[in-house]
Amino acid sequence: MPLFPTLFLLVTLDHLVAAMNETAVFTFNGFSGTNLSLDGMATVTPDGLLMLTNGSTALKGHAFYPFPLRFHGASNHVMASFSTAFVFGIIDQYFDVSSQGMAFVVSGSSNFSTALPGHFLGLVNASDNGDASDHLFAVELDTVLNAEFRDIDDNHVGVDVNSLTSVQAASAGYYDDATGSFRNLSLISRKAMQVWVEYDGQAMELNVTMAPVEMPRPKKPLLSTFVDLSAVITDLAYVGFSSSTGIIFSHHYVLGWSFKTNGMAPALNVSMLPALPRTSTNGARTKVLEVVLPISSVLFVLALAAAAVVMAKRRAKFAELREDWEAGFGSHRFAYKDLFYATDGFKDTNVLGKGGFGSVFMGVLPKSKTNVAVKRVSHESRQGMKEFLAEIVSLGRLRHRSVVQLLGYCRRKGELLLVYDYMPNGSLDMYLHDQDKPILGWGQRFKVIKGVASGLLYLHEDWEKAVIHRDIKPSNVLLDAEMNGRLGDFGLARLYDHGTDPNTTHVVGTMGYLAPELGHRAKATPCTDVFAFGVFLLEEDAQGSVAVLVDWVLHHWRNGLIMEAADPRLGSEYVHEEVELVLKLGLLCSHPLASARPSMRRIVQCLDGDIAFKTEHQAMHMDFSMTTLMKDQGFDPDAMEYEQFAFEGFASANLTLDGAAKVTPSGLLALTNDKHTQGHVFFPTPIRFYAASNGTIAASFSATFVFAIISEHAQLSDHGLAFVVAPSSNLSAATGAQYLGLLNISNNGKASNHILAIELDTVLSPEFHDRQQPCRS
């Protein structure tokens, strides 16, 4: 008989015997030339490493001994003992954070095509995890904490039986034979480590031990547990390894492997094992050294290049964005270099204030030594920039004692800088709300009110064009050296010719100061400025939240006690008639119907005493309820209820918090911290979403919020957050991670949850069919 057929027959018979006899044994000191069953990303490298994952994200890889092994005796009732030893190494993209880990596996099948990558380790999916029909036993080396599987930490060894929720787990490490003390090991240390798994079929005792590859096996196992595998592992089962990746690319390697049933697995010859790939940068450094060992002429060239780079960076540092059509605005344009040096490089110590549209810096112009205030505004879009700057330059021609002078502008890529006169006493809101500032007396307040009113009259009617400010509030009223109030910040202002309609289609401004009609018409008019001025008057004269200030003052007026709504900090040093007039004017100006509001000219005349406040403007005739507004807009208020709220920061907000959620001293709502946990925050009382009359018509609703996610790594994030509408604020049964603290593996997808969520997701979860990372849905 020829030689090759004879060898083939012997090899085949040898594997059949391994599957049928009581004992199976094999040893791989490296994997070159081995006949393993591989799928997914798994491959054997040219130098003999078994590479389970190749650096791709959100994929899986498996490697199995090619033939099933027998794990039960002839009676098919006695579970065989077995042991295995293997050397592995994990090399990740980052030193301190990893993708998912790997596992040694005994399974009734080597087909894991339905299993998912990521935290499922390529072993199960969301629907079959925990199913006894899996017949799956695994020892996981897990590098990510998954709350749904009740992982103990993000660096542990676990024993899994038909489920990735481990029956026993321990942090990765070993016990020192000499001292008995525990020594931690990092699974992502990029160093080779050896693992021993031993199962006693009669005693049903499982021991797992690990140590650095150069050490002998420690005497005390890392973890020891009793588990009956007789109903888990089928008579014929496959042994091997599984691994997967998530959003971080990782390489999982097995350097050597031995296995034996009914006995101790043969020891691996560590000296014969292939080495893990080197991750140092010595090669790159060598190439750099070869380049930087030049002759003197090369050094000179490098010096010239460095000088050129410095000059280029300097030019980029002060680069501006200029277009041909800006030539006509020359006298109103400032050089960025001058503004940079004026504000000491826009240092935080020069910040005068911050808002939703930018920060304001104090500066001194280097040539004229003039004090200025510089507002930096993000302005990515170039659409309409020519028209916008034309308006800015036109606003620079405004001249009024109660209007802050807009001196000019500067433009850079993605940034607009507006330069104003500097007001040494800052903004009015500091004196109204800052406990460290002195309280303004009524005389000062009334002078400020009259000044702002005259400034608005100038903008609306007395200048060459009509100007709508669109953001009247105390923080935009600045105080000069004599404590005169001057209206500032014209970044949102729009101007138009007298007798024409203003061309505005976007709602801008500050919540609490926006007139109701802006919600459906989105058109700013002098009447919308009057509404904001009315709220400003009440904030000047009364005390309370802007959101409820109108109702608060109106309630007192209807009860004949309007003076009780006045700011108690005024004490008794005020003119009764003036305070009462300002409160009533504030209510009239903030009327929900635009047609009921007075013009700025009539307001100024009332404040100056030229005309009296009309007697017909009595409390019983001034209906400020939302019902009036809804009827005016064609809605049926009897069939609807409404709820509204606004939080500009959360320093004093009354919210329902749980988990890691908290309000920081600066007023931020922090949903999570740097721990592996979840957090929830809800409005404290439930909101009605159906009409009270029949309970079948769902209400319309809208919400807006500003959020930010800060991660440890710039290009890598943990899971995201969600806006939620739910029938209960108790989500204690929910798990974190990819479930975002909303659901868990058992109730995900059930209609009985009654949960609507807008997720802002930063991790690709294959089981939820996420499209890409990051995503929103």
Same domain, residue pair 201 and 264: yes
Domain boundary among the residues 578, 604, 635 is at 635
Instruction: State the catalytic residues.
Output: 471
Q: Is 614 annotated as a binding residue?
A: no
- Alpha carbon distances (Å) from 58 to 50, 61, 119, 123, 508: 19, 11, 10, 14, 42
- Asked whether residue 630 carries a pLDDT value surpassing 70, the answer given is no
Compute the Cα dihedral for 163, 164, 166, 172 and give only its sign.
Answer: positive
Each residue's pLDDT tens digit, 74-118:
555 678 999 999 999 999 877 777 778 999 999 999 999 989 888
Same domain, residue pair 59 and 40: yes
Same domain, residue pair 257 and 334: no
Same domain, residue pair 157 and 193: yes
Q: Residues 531-549: what's their mean pLDDT?
A: 77
Q: Establish if 427 belongs to a structural domain.
A: no
Same domain, residue pair 600 and 649: no
- Please enumerate in sequence order all residues whose Cβ is within 8 A of that of 163, keeping only pairs 6 or more positions apart, or say none: 124, 129, 130, 149
Into how many domains does the chain fold? 4
pLDDT at residue 291, rounded to an integer: 47
Q: Establish if 207 belongs to a structural domain.
A: yes
CATH of the domain at 151: 2.60.120.200
733, two tokens: 């049964």
Same domain, residue pair 59 and 198: yes
Q: Do 57 and 98 contact (CB within 8 A), yes or no?
A: no
Q: Establish if 97 belongs to a structural domain.
A: yes
Q: Which of 421-430, 544-553, 657-666 has the lowest mean pLDDT?
A: 544-553
Same domain, residue pair 662 and 754: yes
Q: Establish if 118 belongs to a structural domain.
A: yes
Q: Establish if 280 belongs to a structural domain.
A: no
Same domain, residue pair 411 and 462: no
> Which residues span the domain enclosing 725?
643-777
Each residue's pLDDT tens digit, 339-353:
998 999 888 888 887
Same domain, residue pair 597 and 658: no
Same domain, residue pair 571 and 674: no
**330: confidence class by pLDDT, cuts 50, 70, 90:** low
pLDDT at residue 614, rounded to an integer: 66
Each residue's pLDDT tens digit, 21-71:
468 999 999 999 999 999 999 999 999 999 999 888 888 999 999 999 999
Same domain, residue pair 630 and 657: no
pLDDT at residue 710, rounded to an integer: 86
Q: Quickly tell me which residue has 């100007």 as its tokens.
A: 467
Q: Which of 184, 283, 169 is nearest to 227 (CA)?
A: 169
525, two tokens: 């008019």
Each residue's pLDDT tens digit, 182-214:
999 999 999 999 999 999 998 999 999 999 999
64, two tokens: 């199995």
Each residue's pLDDT tens digit, 256-314:
999 999 999 999 999 999 999 986 544 344 343 444 445 666 677 677 777 777 776 66
Please, which residues bridge with residue 250 across strands? 92
Q: Establish if 299 belongs to a structural domain.
A: no
Q: Establish if 304 belongs to a structural domain.
A: no
CATH of the domain at 418: 3.30.200.20
- Alpha carbon distances (Å) from 713 to 55, 91, 99, 710, 717: 18, 18, 14, 9, 7
CA distance 733 to 743: 7
CATH of the domain at 583: 1.10.510.10
The three-state secondary structure class of 660 is coil
Q: Establish if 291 belongs to a structural domain.
A: no
- Asked whether residue 686 carries a pLDDT value surpassing 90, the answer given is no
Same domain, residue pair 214 and 354: no
